Chain A
Amino acid sequence: MFEIASVVVLLAVPLALYRAIAGPLVYDRVLAANVIGTKTVVLIALVGFVFERPHFMDIGLIYALINYLTTIAVLKYRAQGGLD
């Protein structure tokens, strides 16, 4: 059950990756990167269930935090030309 769900989530990643490569604006690419990051969090949790490794949930939590920070940092860098 979790195997099928993880394959479906994995199949949704190339569609977002297409938008990250072909997107005309910078903001399209940032949005696609954010979507891929949150899908990765779900994928880490599902893979932790498939292989019965409960420690993967901690990794997923940290990954979610870093992903959110990355989006905000890239936007701030784009808007101000610096991270001060």
Chain B
Amino acid sequence: MATSPQRRIDVAGLVIAIVLLVLAGVVWWDMSKLQILSPYDLGPKVMPIIVSGGLTLLAIGNGISAFRGDLPVRDSLDWKPIILILGALACLIALIRFGGGFMIGTALLFAATSTAFGRRAFVTDFIIGAVIALIVYVLFAKLLTLSLPAGPLERLF
């Protein structure tokens, strides 16, 4: 019986509280390196001090909720679609970073997201994504003269 209240501690809530405490520490550490220009007031340090203090208090508040088990009820979680979408975003970032252009990455993102939402037509969706990417590229680059990262495919246009 003695263990039952302990079981209701929300681990995820505790992690949130610890993360907030770490953030408060980072803000404080960053603030301590700032120079004060005027002898009268704290200048650029004022706001970081307020933010760091606030985050510390909120870490305590969130910690208390976690111990009480006050957090809202959560549904079960399906990790596969999340990994699929984040993976596609990572591919897009890598493609742009290494000069692959954004079109292939965008088509991949479209197809992966659509798969994450339960469609089973990866090739069709990849082509749809590519067409959307092409239209947007022409619209952005030619009509609005905005620059999008170009790769070998984009240079064809």
Q: Do the two chains belong together in a single complex?
A: no
What is B's interface to A at a CB cutoff of 8 Å? none
What is A's interface to B at a CB cutoff of 8 Å? none
